[in-house]
Amino acid sequence: MGLLFLAANRFEIFVLTILLARASLDAAKIGVGTIDATGALSVLFVVVAVVWLLAQRSDTAAEPSATAPLMPPLVAFVAVAALGLFFSHDPLASAVEWVRLGTLVAIVAVLGRVLKDERTIKLCLLAVLGSAVVPVAIGALQAARGSGAITAAGLDRIRGTFQHSNPFASYLFLMITLAVAIFPHVERRWRFVLVPYVLACGGLLVLTYTRGAWVAMIVALIVIAILQDRRIFLFLFAVAIALAILVPSVGVRLSDLSQEEKATGAPGNSLVWRFEHWRDVLALQTNPLVGIGLKEVELRDVSNVPPHNDIVRVYVETGLAGLAAYIWLSVVLWIESVRTWRRAPPGLARGLAVASIASLAGVMMLSVAANVITQLVILWYFFAIVALAMASTTRLGDRARAQA
């Protein structure tokens, strides 16, 4: 009721509130079936966003959407994914997953219009960064109490407010990337806030023991170093030495990478397991054109385990048509991110543009061995970073050049 009131009276605050709270909602799984709290919120957001966007179309004075270039491939991907509903063994589960995927269209379209001035851009940036307060606090509490998920190697993998350590690690990687990229472009008082923020998120990222997110984080920091500050290379080297000396459990997490098979005949590490699992998932493909339907990999696979590879999932569940739309979206994201960086004026807009490219590089790396495309909370914040970069360059950069 409170969100509906905000949506009706202060739509911008409604959007920012959802961005602020979304990272903490997965812990509140109050549903027992297919529909849960986050699913209900997705439906609410889509309905409210559609009504608001339709109202905006009648406003002739409204500025064009800053995220307009992303809409055609994103809409195409979601539209193609709907075709698989006709071939799904569980149309309800596939339909719910499709609605969740549709929230990406809504959030990108809405942010493209909501982020119309410097004040709104800064408020949205604060909402995205501020969304980590509760997850980080819960993660720190789990680390202190040893209440994470214990692995076979005895590692205590914290998960914050998320259902698993992997999405929590992916989220932390995005927050760290955003904070590091904008650090040189904010006032001194905010730098005193960002330093402990990055240290807290970084420490918890290590304690998730999620190797894919570690690699994504390294890739993102390398991109930031190349585009903005080469001293980050020294920072990465120092962190690697510190972790090797002070956190030996990191070495335990990496130690099985050279083991191909265990004594029981099981895969020796998760990478070997992934290759075997990808072959099993590809064998599920019975409709190469439009796929077998969203969510069907988990439903049909004997182990009920997701593919851990977005490209494999997209091909199996949405077919060649969906894969083409997915590649189109990826190419457009790269083109627009690089174009935004080249056009970004000095200041916060430049930092956001660097964050957009670095986040994209990390997400692309992560999607090779993880389930990013079904972790809607991760995609919400990723597209929020991209939208912030595009809006700050479009709104603020064009106006600065016009004034000049």
Q: What is the pLDDT of residues 245-300, one digit of tens each?
A: 877 767 666 665 555 444 444 444 566 778 888 888 888 888 899 999 998 888 88
Domains held by the chain: number? 1
**156: which strand partners?**
150
What's the half-sphere exposure (Cβ side, CA atoms, 13 Å) at 69?
17
pLDDT of residue 38: 74
Structure tokens at 57: 């179309």
Mean pLDDT for 235-247 is 84
Inside any domain, residue 308: no
Inside any domain, residue 31: no
Which of residues 21 and 41 earns the better pLDDT score? 21
> Over 60: is that where the pLDDT of 209 sits?
yes
Give the Cα separation of 304 and 263 in Å (integer): 25
> Exposed, middle or buried, 359 (CB in 10 Å: 0-12/13-18/19+)?
buried
pTM: 0.90
Q: Domain range holding 97?
A: 9-26+64-253+318-403
Q: What percent of the chain has a predicted confidence (pLDDT) above 70?
A: 86
Confidence band for 402, pLDDT divided at 50, 70 and 90: low
Inside any domain, residue 96: yes
Is 385:178 a contact under the CB 8 Å cutoff?
Answer: yes
Element at 157 (helix H, strand E): strand 156-157
Q: What is the pLDDT of residues 84-132, one digit of tens each?
A: 888 888 888 888 888 888 889 999 999 999 998 889 999 999 999 999 9
> Over 90: is that where the pLDDT of 148 sits?
no
> Over 60: is that where the pLDDT of 77 sits?
yes
Q: What is the pLDDT of residues 152-172, one digit of tens each?
A: 556 788 998 888 898 999 999
Stretch among 21-25, 305-309, 397-401 having the lowest mean pLDDT: 397-401
Inside any domain, residue 84: yes
Inside any domain, residue 46: no
Name the range with the highest mean pLDDT among 28-37, 246-255, 294-303, 373-382.
373-382
- Nearest CA-CA partner of 99 in 45, 27, 55, 168: 45
Give the Cα separation of 89 and 296 in Å (integer): 7
Name residues whose C-beta falls within 8 Å of residue 394's C-beta, 6 or more positions apart in sequence.
Answer: 66
pLDDT of residue 180: 96
Name the range with the highest mean pLDDT among 22-31, 174-183, 289-298.
174-183
> Over 70: is that where the pLDDT of 328 sits?
yes
Mean pLDDT for 319-335 is 96
Confidence band for 61, pLDDT divided at 50, 70 and 90: low
Q: What percent of the chain has a predicted confidence (pLDDT) above 90?
A: 48
pLDDT of residue 153: 59
User: Tokens 């083109």 identify what position?
Assistant: 335
Rounded to a whole number of angstroms, the CA Rg of the chain reads 21
pLDDT of residue 349: 93
**What is the residue-averaged pLDDT of the chain?**
86
Confidence band for 34, pLDDT divided at 50, 70 and 90: very low
Number of Cβ within 10 Å of residue 185's Cβ equals 17
Inside any domain, residue 272: no
Q: What is the pLDDT of residues 67-76, one digit of tens each?
A: 999 999 999 9
Inside any domain, residue 18: yes
Q: Strands (DSSP E) along 203-250, which ranges?
A: none
Inside any domain, residue 41: no
pLDDT of residue 129: 96
